Amino acid sequence: GENVEQHPSTLSVQEGDSAVIKCTYSDSASNYFPWYKQELGKRPQLIIDIRSNVGEKKDQRIAVTLNKTAKHFSLHITETQPEDSAVYFCAAKGPGGPGKLIFGQGTELSVKP
């Protein structure tokens, strides 16, 4: 089955710097890769997603890149702000239902003012 590895597990940056989180997946049939942000004690919320027919997608300060050949995808946050501090999860769609996602282990991002 699908397996998703995410790193780093923790990331600390200064406000205004960029942050990059990387994930790899195992199932070449996976075609959907979302990123969720989870603040402490809160629900995971989708921040950006990408499908396998696209190599890059950008939404303001957030971008995601996908390399299908290497089976890895990355989240890029530019001009980080303290409110970006949270745990970020990557995921890949696994076999089965449209919402059956296999999540990475999470990256705790800390943005220091």
Partner 1 sequence: GAGVSQTPSNKVTEKGKYVELRCDPISGHTALYWYRQSLGQGPEFLIYFQGTGAADDSGLPNDRFFAVRPEGSVSTLKIQRTERGDSAVYLCASSLEGEAAGELFFGEGSRLTVL
Contacts to partner 1 by CB under 8 A = 4, 6, 31-32, 34, 42-46, 49, 89, 91, 93-94, 96-106
CB contact at 8 A, 47 and 19: no
Please give the single-letter amino acid code of residue 80: T
Tell me the two tokens of residue 33: 């890769």
- Minimum CB separation of residue 113 from partner 1 in Å reads 25
Closest CB to partner 1 among residues 12, 45: 45
Cα(94)–Cα(86) distance, integer angstroms = 25
Closest CB to partner 1 among residues 99, 113: 99
